[in-house]
Amino acid sequence: MIQTEGVAAVTDADFDAEVLGADRPVLVEFTADWCGPCRQLAPVLSALASEETGRLKVVQLDVDTNPEITTRYGVLSMPTLMVFREGEPVKSMVGARPKRRLLQELEDVI
């Protein structure tokens, strides 16, 4: 998996604890090694993770090695970005986007 600076990797095993049990909203990127747009999104997520540390947790989940969570949330396209708040998915977006647009789309959930 493309490891993005400042963005933790989660797995099927720790997803519930790291994401559903988090004390703040969590942005999950469903990603894969073979996904070109995921690589384009990496610097955007890295910047977001460092700038919004207190308000938002940013993590990645590799869909190829974590099929249980990928299936649970019906993720079919990479990258899919999902925001979870208080254990529930509250927003889902598909595809890479520039940081300004991503921040606009996150305004109502963080």
- What amino acid positions are annotated as catalytic residues? 35, 38
The SS3 call for residue 20 is helix
Q: Classify each residue of 21-52 as buried b or exposed e, where b means 16 or more C-beta atoms within 10 Å of its C-beta.
A: ebeebbbbbbbbeebeebeebbebbbbbbeeb
d(CA 49, CA 15): 18
Query: Kind of pairing, strands 8-10 and 26-31?
Result: unpaired
